[in-house]
């Protein structure tokens, strides 16, 4: 069953999931939500009649204590969905809704079907996003496909979204907590090519202060792999920024104008020193947060997008489903006096153990179960370490990022946006993630720095200069390839190489930034 998004509301939650239902509600309140349609739970249920028994058989091998078994199970289930065949009737229905998505029939009045088909034929089919819609209280991390075009690609994205219900993390969480797998409705919306995007809370989820909003923003599109967002804690009434934790990204995600796919780009120089949100945008977002909260009757978490200075509401859900309660607490007394790190509380708790700094997979051997993990940002490789840790400190994650959510899902004390005052591991430290601080013994940093000075033999400056030369070559080559792409002069093979060059340019620049922190 397929329905237009503006035809559903909260009363349809059991049919189309909370995400789609609340967006439909926001449309009725007059909020600017991208046009879309939703595929109800019924179609997923039909697929599960066919695939369910085999999925259950595969899941029987998934052991939370053996992550490889979970990866294997997830991969097999993904193949089942990939090969699933939709009915002809369903494919025709999706095609029909998609062909009408970019046309507002109200603009043309009561034209006859031939005239309407003529209008459709003259319009370029839109790019869309394809997302899972279900109860927002369930753990997320499902697959979202952006910049999808053509009916067959949408059908493939639906299969991918369904399969993500059985992603490795979803299987791990549900096997560990003995909780059921959810159903999946599918939300398909016109794609917004964001110049800025992020999410916000109409309540301060850290302290529970109802007179504050917390706004998170970044350049470009918001993806799971996006750099951590800048965070602004604001007074709800005046929109004044009370605290800010700003990121300095060097890349962002956007739609490639030539091919339409999601692409990574180097942030232009003129934007690198600008705050991602200006005062007027903060005021607008604060006002929208307050309005949405008043309309729905509960504190909200909103995903938002700005394209060409126009605001779009992408998703809304109860803030209580993201943060079960305030994180901040003074109930844990620390024994050490020296503050070694400070950041924003993302998951509450207090732990005492050794800290281990993980900068790359080469550092994994240092980590032991129950250590406090310190790292730049989340990636799939550190998930096993994170689950074994007693607490986590992220330098670049934000409150809504995958790493922060995992910490809350598994009740790991966690702080984000952390400023670290140590450069090597501490044998003993205290992480008070309920206040956002790491404490250690007074003499710890002095001993570490003395040791580092006596053993420094690597010429970091020489490595840095070599990277600068490589970066210059990659930047020059990437500029040439960008011009060739714009003129459609590249073969399919060369386009793949072009993407590799673009990625390498970013990776080299990231390595330079890491080195520069040690050279300061």
- The pLDDT assigned to 186 comes to 97
Average pLDDT over the chain, rounded to whole?
87
Residue 466's pLDDT band (cuts 50, 70, 90): confident
Q: Which CATH class is domain 2-190?
A: alpha beta
The band of 226, judged by pLDDT with boundaries at 50, 70 and 90, is confident
CATH 3.30.470.20 for the 196-319 domain, yes or no: yes
Q: Which pLDDT band, with edges at 50, 70 and 90, does 295 fall under?
A: very high
According to the model, what pLDDT value does residue 26 have?
97
**Average confidence (pLDDT) over 289-302:** 96
Q: What pLDDT does 463 receive?
A: 80
Provide the token pair at 393. Answer: 């400190």
Q: Show the tokens assigned to 197.
A: 């995007």
Dump pLDDT digits (tens) for 368-417: 999 999 999 998 889 999 999 999 999 999 999 999 999 999 999 999 99
Identify the pLDDT of residue 332: 84
| Structure-token match 């394209």, residue found | 307
The angle at the Cα of 345, spanning 341 to 350, to the nearest 5 degrees, equals: 75
The band of 459, judged by pLDDT with boundaries at 50, 70 and 90, is low
Pick the CATH number of 338-455 from 3.40.50.1390, 3.40.190.10, 3.40.50.300, 3.50.30.10: 3.50.30.10
Q: Are 276 and 219 in contact (CB under 8 A)?
A: yes
Number of H helices, E strands in the chain: 14, 21
pLDDT of residue 451: 41
Q: Which residue has the higher pLDDT, 466 or 392?
A: 392
Strands 310-318 and 36-39: unpaired
C-alpha closest to that of 251 among 278, 277, 231, 223: 223
| pLDDT tens, position by position, 108-145 | 445 455 554 544 554 688 999 999 998 766 555 788 89
pLDDT in tens, 36-55: 999 999 999 999 999 999 99
Instruction: Report residue 447's pLDDT band, with 50, 70 and 90 as the boundaries.
Output: very low
At 173 the three-state DSSP class reads helix
Confidence of residue 104 (pLDDT cuts 50, 70, 90): low
Residue-level pLDDT at 301 = 95
Q: Is the pLDDT of residue 239 over 60?
A: yes
In the predicted structure, residue 489 carries a pLDDT above the cut 60: no
CB 314 within 8 A of CB 298: no
């Amino acid at each position: 069953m397929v329905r237009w998004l503006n035809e559903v509301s909260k009363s349809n939650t059991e049919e189309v999931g909370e995400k789609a239902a609340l967006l439909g509600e926001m449309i009725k309140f007059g909020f600017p939500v991208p046009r879309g349609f939703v595929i109800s739970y019924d179609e997923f249920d039909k697929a599960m009649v066919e695939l369910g028994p085999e999925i259950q058989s595969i899941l029987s091998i998934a052991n939370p204590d053996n992550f490889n078994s979970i990866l294997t199970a997830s991969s097999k289930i993904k193949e089942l969905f990939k090969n699933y065949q939709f009915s002809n009737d369903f494919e025709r229905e999706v095609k029909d809704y998609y062909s009408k998505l970019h046309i507002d029939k109200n603009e043309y009045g009561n034209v006859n079907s031939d005239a309407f088909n003529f209008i459709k034929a003259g319009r370029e089919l839109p790019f869309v996003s394809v997302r899972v819609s279900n109860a927002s209280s369930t753990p997320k991390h499902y697959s979202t496909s952006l910049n999808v075009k053509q009916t067959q690609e949408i059908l493939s994205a639906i299969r991918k979204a369904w399969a993500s219900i059985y992603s490795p993390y979803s299987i791990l969480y549900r096997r560990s907590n003995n909780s059921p797998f959810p159903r999946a409705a599918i939300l398909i919306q016109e794609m917004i090519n964001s110049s800025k995007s992020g999410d916000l809370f109409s309540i301060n989820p850290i302290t529970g202060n109802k007179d504050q909003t917390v706004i998170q923003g970044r350049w470009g599109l918001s993806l799971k792999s996006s750099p951590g967002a800048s965070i602004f804690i604001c007074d709800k009434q005046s929109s004044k920024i009370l605290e800010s934790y700003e990121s300095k990204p060097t890349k962002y995600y956007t739609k490639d104008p030539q091919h339409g796919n999601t692409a990574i780009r180097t942030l232009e120089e003129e934007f690198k020193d600008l705050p991602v949100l200006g005062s007027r945008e903060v005021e607008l977002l604060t006002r929208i947060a307050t309005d949405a909260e008043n309309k729905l009757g509960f504190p909200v978490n909103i995903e938002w997008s700005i394209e060409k200075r126009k605001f779009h509401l992408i998703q809304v859900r109860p803030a209580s489903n993201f943060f079960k309660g305030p994180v901040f607490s003074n109930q844990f007394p620390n024994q050490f006096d020296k503050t070694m790190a400070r950041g924003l509380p993302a998951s509450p708790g207090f732990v005492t153990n050794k800290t281990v700094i993980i900068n790359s997979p080469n550092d994994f051997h240092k980590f032991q179960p129950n250590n406090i993990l310190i790292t730049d940002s989340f990636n799939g490789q550190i998930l096993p370490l994170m689950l074994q840790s007693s607490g986590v400190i992220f330098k670049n994650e934000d409150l809504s990022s995958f790493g922060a959510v995992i910490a809350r899902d598994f009740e790991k004390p966690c702080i984000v946006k952390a400023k670290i005052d140590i450069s090597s591991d501490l044998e003993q430290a205290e992480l008070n993630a309920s206040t956002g601080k790491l404490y250690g013994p007074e003499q710890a940093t002095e001993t570490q720095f003395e040791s580092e000075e006596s053993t420094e033999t690597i010429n970091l400056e020489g490595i840095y200069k070599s990277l600068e030369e490589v970066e210059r070559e990659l930047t020059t080559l990437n500029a040439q390839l960008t011009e060739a792409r714009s003129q459609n002069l590249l073969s399919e093979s060369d386009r793949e190489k072009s993407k590799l060059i673009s990625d390498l340019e970013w990776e080299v620049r990231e390595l330079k930034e890491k080195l520069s922190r040690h050279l300061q």
